[in-house]
Amino acid sequence: LVTGPLVETVVVLVTGPLGETIVVLVTGPLVETVVVLVTGPLVETVVVLVTGPLVETVLVLVTGPLVETVLVLVTGPLVETVVVLVTGPLVETVLVLVTGPLVETVLVLVTGPLVETVVVLVTGPLVKTVVVLVTGPLVEAVVVLVTGPLVETVVVLVTGPLVETVVVLVTGPLLEAVVVVTGPLVEAVVVVVTGPRS
């Protein structure tokens, strides 16, 4: 837990042989940059919550041989860039929620041999670019929701031999969207794109 009236930059490094559940909460009126790196041989669950009126950039990297579930929530009136990288041989579920009036760029990369479900929600009046890459031999369901009046580019790449369901909902008046889904077992792909330039 990091909080304080003068905190500007927060770097959290969690590593060690005994940590199973990691919860990182960063908040403060002057926090601008947050970097969270979580790795360890026994880490299973990671929850990262970043919020603050001046938060601009958030980088979250989670990796480890036993990581299974990752939840990342980033919100704030000045958040502009969020990068989330999750990888590990046992990662199964990843949820990323990014919201804020100044959010412009969000990059989410999830990969691992056991990844099954990935949900990415990005919303904000200035969101322009969202890139979501999900890959793994057991990926089954991916849901991506992006909305905002300035959304221009959304790239969703989902690949894997067991991909069954991919839902992508993108809305915005300036939208130019790219959606790529590959896999021999793809059963349902729902892509809803609305906008005059779609």
Per-residue confidence (pLDDT) for residue 127, from 0 to 100: 83
Token pair of 88, please? 């590990």
Confidence of residue 84 (pLDDT cuts 50, 70, 90): very high
pLDDT in tens, 38-72: 887 878 888 999 888 888 889 999 888 888 889 99
pLDDT of residue 89: 85
3-class secondary structure per residue, the chain: CEECCCCCEEEEEECCCCCCEEEEEEECCCCCEEEEEEECCCCCEEEEEEECCCCCEEEEEEECCCCCEEEEEEECCCCCEEEEEEECCCCCEEEEEEECCCCCEEEEEEECCCCCEEEEEEECCCCCEEEEEEECCCCCEEEEEEECCCCCEEEEEEECCCCCEEEEEEECCCCEEEEEEECCCCCEEEEEEECCCC
pLDDT of 37 higher than 70: yes
**pLDDT band at residue 83 under the 50/70/90 scheme:** very high
Tally of structural domains, the chain:
1
pLDDT band at 120 (very low <50, low <70, confident <90, very high): very high
More confident call, 171 vs 119: 119
Choose between 150 and 196: higher pLDDT: 150
Which residues span the domain enclosing 73? 2-194
Q: pTM of the prediction?
A: 0.82
Q: pLDDT at position 96, please?
A: 93
